[in-house]
Amino acid sequence: MAHTIYDIYELMPKKDCGLCGNPSCRTSARKIATGDMSPGQCVNLKLPEYEKNLERIQRILKEGVEFGAKGTVVIGEEGIAYIHPCISEAGRVAAETKLTSGPEGRVDNLKYGFFDPFMMCWALGTSGLYKDVRCSPKLGVARINIDDKTVMVFQDGRINVRKAKDKNDAIQTIRLVSRSLWASIICSCCGNAGVDCASGGCEDCLTKVCPVLAGGPPDPMASTKAPTGQTTGSTIFDRAKKLETGKLFEKGFQDLDQAMDALRKSGQELSEGNFDSKSIDLLTEKLAEANNLAIRFVVETPRVQDATIGLILAGVTLDITRMSEGLATLIHSKRPIEKELRNILIEAISIAEQAYKSLRTVNPDQAKQITSRYAEFRKEWAKSFREKENRDSLVAIEKIATNGFYIARLLTKPLPT
């Protein structure tokens, strides 16, 4: 199945526009591969330029599971499966783990796989925690060199350590890697990676606590206990302040403040036709910093329930990243933005900006207003999408507003405590 999902993803428009109801094409690819979504639900796949891709996806589905692909993953016991002395390295220890406890406690069928291979590579590569990471999203395998230890991560939830100093070192290493990969654990209910749920992009997680966020990363030494308490996204800043790692969280959001500022500036410049790449460079830099801090916060915050809010920081970073991708599409299209489109762009940027502000100032009324503004925006947008030819630009603009809308939903999102 891993290959089928990868092959389908490679054929997706990869716009992460959210128009199908999923926050990313990764989720859509998973759902299409497992039959939970029809490829026709993707607005972009139906456009003439993706006709061949759609045909190929339909062919993959018709042929069934790709030659040599694996079916659903049947999971075994959680925890460390095997710990033994290294045969080739005297005095060193190797440990093999299969993280299977899963976000919902014990589940029998991880139909989408355990780690999202793309987010797995992203989380390991962008956290700044590891100097030497190599990762293949196609195979869903990563290799991390930490000091003289080698850690291998497999998308089915295995984390293997070789040449650890001793048993404790092996366990601590697995724990570290497991925590840093939390954002990429796939929820079996909705098919989203943890960070997608934390970005506000998952519909299912708006009425109940997201199981991935609640369960935490499986710990090789302890069975995962679901948190008992529940709160909402509106408490995250207060909660962070009480933590020793709170500074990382606050610094991360300060980076995002600057990123949003740069985004607004770029959008403004673009609509006025005098674009300067400095703003977009700053935007990229600040997003990378915020992401780095988010993963560090998740790893360094001792209690799992507290560490969860770090995923919200990662999620908002992802939202703004998608907005910046939307902007980049507009910049690279090299077509002057016509007047009507310009108005839509200004409104999209404004929605994104106000949504972010509502979260930062914990203003639920403002967030509510965004929701209705976004509904209006979508109506106007849909009209243009039907009439205009410049659909790439329209999708890029929509992406900015949609991710703003996701952020606006975070204040009321239920969170574990």
Query: Residue numbers of the site for another protein (CB under 8 A)?
Result: 2-3, 65-71, 87-88, 134-136, 138-143, 150, 152, 154-156, 158, 160, 162
Report residue 5 as tokens.
Answer: 């999902």
* Distance in Å, CB of 131 to another protein, minimum: 16
d(CA 120, CA 182): 9
The nearer residue to another protein, 154 or 297, going by C-beta atoms, is 154
* Distance in Å, CB of 178 to another protein, minimum: 17
* Distance in Å, CB of 73 to another protein, minimum: 9
The nearer residue to another protein, 159 or 210, going by C-beta atoms, is 159
Tell me the CB-side half-sphere exposure of residue 246, using CA atoms within 13 A: 9
Q: What is the largest CA-CA distance in the chain?
A: 71
Phi/psi region, residue 21 (left: phi>0; alpha: psi -120 to 50; beta: rest), is left
Q: Tell me which H or E stretch contains 247.
A: helix 246-272
The nearer residue to another protein, 66 or 261, going by C-beta atoms, is 66
Report residue 362 as tokens.
Answer: 């914990």
* Distance in Å, CB of 254 to another protein, minimum: 35
Q: Catalogue the E-assigned strands of 185-295.
A: 230-232
* Distance in Å, CB of 296 to another protein, minimum: 25
* Distance in Å, CB of 87 to another protein, minimum: 7
d(CA 52, CA 37): 19
The nearer residue to another protein, 87 or 334, going by C-beta atoms, is 87
d(CA 188, CA 31): 11
* Distance in Å, CB of 294 to another protein, minimum: 25
Report residue 346 as tokens.
Answer: 């200004």
Q: Count CB-CB contacts under 10 A for residue 336.
A: 9
Q: Are 319 and 403 in contact (CB under 8 A)?
A: yes
The nearer residue to another protein, 82 or 106, going by C-beta atoms, is 82
Q: Catalogue the E-assigned strands of 4-105.
A: 80-85, 93-98
Q: Are 308 and 294 in contact (CB under 8 A)?
A: no
The nearer residue to another protein, 158 or 357, going by C-beta atoms, is 158
